[in-house]
Amino acid sequence: MDEIKIITPEDLQKKLEAGEKLELVDVREDEEVAEGMIPGAKHIRMGDIPAHLDYFDKDKEYIFICRSSRRSENVCYYLQEQGYKVRNMIGGMLQWTGETK
């Protein structure tokens, strides 16, 4: 199994501030997302990912986010096995200091 690429919350924040167009997917549950998510992120609960494969494009890279980066890591392994380009935000929202909405 190939290692999952990662991005730190700090690096992600710098990319967003620089205006980079990124594909962010928050895989937390509804009640967690209600507490705030990174602006521009799409919310697809972890358990709903298999039913939403048609949302993903194999030519794009997706950055996955959850509370602590465990669930998003699992999603990354699953999608990487399906042939998608993925990156996990390590530390999750617990480490995110940037803006939320």
The CA distance from 80 to 43, in Å, is: 19
The CA distance from 52 to 101, in Å, is: 23
Bridge-partner residues for 26, per DSSP?
Answer: 43, 65
Q: Which of 7, 12, 37, 66 is catalytic?
A: 66
Burial class (CB in 10 A: 0-12, 13-18, 19+), 63: buried
Q: How far is CA 54 from the centre of its chain?
A: 17
Q: Is 66 a catalytic residue?
A: yes
> Which DSSP letter does residue 4 get?
P
Active site (catalytic) residues:
66
